[in-house]
Amino acid sequence: MTNEEARIAVLNHISEFFVLLLGDEPLEEYEEAGEFGDEVAEYLLGSIGLEVVSVDGDAITVTLALQDNAEYLNDWLAEDADGSN
> Mind listing the pLDDT tens digit for each residue in 12-57?
888 777 666 666 665 456 566 667 777 778 888 888 899 999 999 9
Q: Quick one: which of 45, 53, 51 has its CA closest to 72?
A: 45
Q: What is the pLDDT of residue 55?
A: 94
Which one-letter amino acid corresponds to residue 49? G
- Residue with the bigger pLDDT between 61 and 23: it is 61
Other C-beta atoms closer than 10 Å to the C-beta of 71 total 10
The pLDDT score that the predictor gives to residue 74 is 83
- Residue 32: its pLDDT value, please? 66
In terms of Cβ atoms closer than 10 Å to its own Cβ (0-12, 13-18, 19+), residue 15 is: buried
State the burial class of residue 32 (Cβ atoms within 10 Å of its Cβ: 0-12, 13-18, 19+). exposed
Could you tell me the pLDDT band of residue 85, with boundaries at 50, 70 and 90?
low
What pLDDT does 84 receive? 61
